[in-house]
Amino acid sequence: MPPGQYVTEKWPVLHYGAIPRFNPRTWDFQIYGLVETPVALSYEQFMALSKTTLTCDIHCVTAWSKLDMEFEGVPVKPLLEMAKPKPEAKFVMVHAEQGYEANLPIEYLLADDALLAHRANGQDLTPEHGWPLRLVVPRLYFWKSAKWVRGFELLERDRRGFWERNGYHNHADPWKEERYSSPWE
């Protein structure tokens, strides 16, 4: 267990704002910014991508951890590679519904444990847990794992996302307890 965390059995729901409505006819997933080949997939095209499962623990900065979650979905690495990131792409801004953003170094999305999940623990995600699609980045605090995710913007220079502008740490490694920081750090 990362320091300062406790185990919870239930799966808490945590987010800012309202649960967005999902319309499969207008939904898309886009990869843009510093890429050779921008990607835009309809819901049907996205769901036709090959899937995998990932078992991992999740760690919320508010100190709960849930162990042995099983997520199912599209692995991020081959999808990002489809867009051919330019060499200067070092960071990714993850974009979700209603303007939610989370930033992270591109390495976390090019690792084998980053997933765009549509199912968890053998069931479709519920709307409050991010249906139809959420990011799962197990090695960072769970706020980086955007619910209702809609795309990746590849950047040369880091930019802070929603919680990162509102007092959370820019990097968010739970093993280093990177919980909070001021926006100028």
Q: Which residues bind ligand MTE (CB under 6 A)?
A: 11-16, 60, 96, 100, 129-130, 142-143, 145-148
Helices (H), the chain: 43-47, 76-82, 162-165
Q: What contacts 138, CB < 8 A, 6 or more positions away? A: 54, 56, 57, 58, 113
Please identify, using beta-carbon distances, which residue of 14 and 110 lies nearer to ligand MTE. 14
End-to-end CA distance of the chain: 26
Binding window for Mo ion (CB under 5 A); candidates: 12-20, 26-34, 126-134, 168-176: 12-20
Please identify, using beta-carbon distances, which residue of 4 and 78 lies nearer to ligand MTE. 4
Binding window for Mo ion (CB under 5 A); candidates: 9-17, 21-29, 75-83, 147-155: 9-17
60 in contact with Mo ion (CB under 5 A): yes
CA angle 29, 125, 104 (to 5 degrees): 50
Please identify, using beta-carbon distances, which residue of 31 and 97 lies nearer to ligand MTE. 97
143 in contact with Mo ion (CB under 5 A): yes
Do the Cβ atoms of 97 and 108 come closer than 8 Å? Answer: no
